[in-house]
Amino acid sequence: MQQSSTIILGIESSCDDTAAAIIRDGKILANVVANQDVHKAYGGVVPELASRAHQQNIVPVVDAALKKANIDKSEITAIAFTNGPGLLGSLLVGSSFAKAFSLAMNIPLIEVNHMQGHILAHFIREEEKSNLKDPVMNTGTAGIPEFPFICLTVSGGHTQIVKVTDYFKMEVLGETIDDAAGEAFDKVAKMLNIPYPGGPLLDKHAQQGNPNTFSFPHPKVPDLNYSFSGLKTSVLYFLKKELNNNPDFITENLNDICAAVQKTIVDILLIELKKAIEQTGITTIALAGGVSANSELRKQFNELQKEGITTYIPKFEYCTDNAAMIAITGYYHFLSQQFTKQSTTPNARMKI
């Protein structure tokens, strides 16, 4: 008898991306993201505008995912959605949609922790990799990290070092006590008049600059934790002083400033990650979150291979916020029959 397949519809709406994805038996069929350009004019995400845009985007995005996957909604086995952490108004749109869809189609509802989703994005399989072992039994075939591994999750909202011993056995070893790494990139970019979100553009300038022209201090934070708010302040004072002497200082030195700031952020990230590797003895490491796109971070991360470390970085579309990571996490919840009640409410500060 042929076993029927498990088709999960994933919904992500925790910040400013409205996303839907479809995964069949752990393999991606569709991954659709609608970015919200409305925030650009404000230089950052405006929560009220994000909720409204999610409300407008959610149905068309789900529709596009179904069409792309060539799946009828009646074929979906379960719906998974982000229930936190994130902006409450944004989370409410995705969770309300998922609850209604689950009731209308009479299928199970699965809540997903966004941060677990970023990490489990490493387990998304693509059609060409379909000869990989069954994901439930996976012991680490090419492209997918073997347990246990250490994941450095770096995004606009989070910076965490997580020890991952199984799909849902995750322990936060360290995290930022103030700004996230992506936030630091974006805030410094703003000071340098680089448009939002500044991280990717700052990276482009940095690649043309000399990181050793300027230097910025590292924070003193105990254990495996991070702090990036001090860096922001020191860049601010540095710029004020230099602009006093030369009003064109930023335009004349943009590439070198970007390179120095980028190197400082990446060095800070890597110092704590290396400590985590030493302390745990775990030599498989993975990167997750939007900042994984950063050229210097990828370079330094992959250089650890020379020290006998096995490194994993997911495809870029699975690093930034997306619903494929929510669908794959939902798939593993489904396999262990972990479902959610209709009475659930989003948790803006949900922990791993």
Edge-to-edge strand list for the sheet holding 78-84: 27-35, 17-24, 7-12, 78-84, 109-113
Residues 11-50: x where in contact with ligand KG4 by CB under 6 A, - otherwise, as a string: ----x-----------------------------------
Q: Who's near 308: CB < 8 A, 6+ residues apart?
A: 283
The residue count for binding Zn ion (CB under 5 A) is 2
Nearest CB to ligand KG4, comparing residues 73 and 315:
315
Q: Which does residue 117 touch among Zn ion, ligand KG4, none (CB within 5 to 8 A, set by kind)?
A: none
Segment 289 to 328, residues that bind ligand KG4, using CB under 6 A: 289-291, 293-294, 320-321
By a kind-dependent CB cut-off of 5 to 8 A, residue 293 interacts, out of ligand KG4, Zn ion, none, with: ligand KG4
Give me the least distance between CB of 252 and Zn ion, in Å please.
35
Residues in the chain: 352
User: Tokens 């989003």 identify what position?
Assistant: 346
78: CB partners within 8 A, 6+ apart = 6, 8, 9, 102, 107, 108, 109, 110, 330, 334, 339
Which pair of structure tokens corresponds to residue 46?
A: 């405006």
Among 155, 160, 322, 329, binds Zn ion (CB under 5 A): 155
199 binds ligand KG4 (CB under 6 A): yes
Cα–Cα distance, 289 to 20 (Å, whole number): 17
Stretch that binds Zn ion, among 76-84, 182-190, 220-228, 314-322 (CB under 5 A): 314-322
Nearer to ligand KG4, 62 or 121 (CB): 121
The whole-angstrom distance between residue 243's C-alpha and the CA centroid of its chain comes to 35
Binding characters for ligand KG4, 276-295, by CB under 6 A (x = yes)? -------------xxx-xx-
Put the strands of the sheet holding 159-166 in their side by side order: 169-175, 159-166, 149-154, 284-288, 310-312
- Residue 209 is a binding residue for ligand KG4 (CB under 6 A): no
Between 186 and 256, whose beta carbon lies closer to ligand KG4?
186
Q: Residue count at the site for ligand KG4 (CB under 6 A)? A: 19
Closest residue by Cα to residue 252 from 218, 296, 214: 214
What's the CA gap between 43 and 201, in Å, rounded?
14
What 196-199 contacts at long range (C-beta under 8 Å, 24+ apart), as own/partner pairs, is 196/39, 196/40, 196/42, 196/43, 196/44, 197/156, 199/156, 199/290, 199/291, 199/293, 199/294
Residue 219 interacts with which of ligand KG4, Zn ion, none, CB < 5 to 8 Å by class = none
Nearer to Zn ion, 180 or 265 (CB): 180
Q: Amino acid identity of 301?
A: F
CA distance 335 to 347: 24
Least distance (Å) between residue 14 CB and ligand KG4: 7
> Considering beta carbons, is residue 289 or 330 the nearer one to ligand KG4?
289
Determine which residue in the list 111, 175, 179, 203 makes contact with ligand KG4, applying CB under 6 A. 203
Site for ligand KG4 in 162-191 (CB under 6 A): 182, 185-186
Decide whether 283 or 311 has the Cβ nearer to ligand KG4.
311
Inter-residue contact 282 to 310 (CB < 8 Å) = no
One-letter amino acid of 331? Y
- With binding defined as CB under 6 A, does residue 83 bind ligand KG4? no
Residues of the shown chain interacting with ligand KG4 in the complex, contacts defined by CB under 6 A: 15, 155-157, 182, 185-186, 197-200, 203, 289-291, 293-294, 320-321
Residues of the shown chain interacting with Zn ion in the complex, contacts defined by CB under 5 A: 155, 321
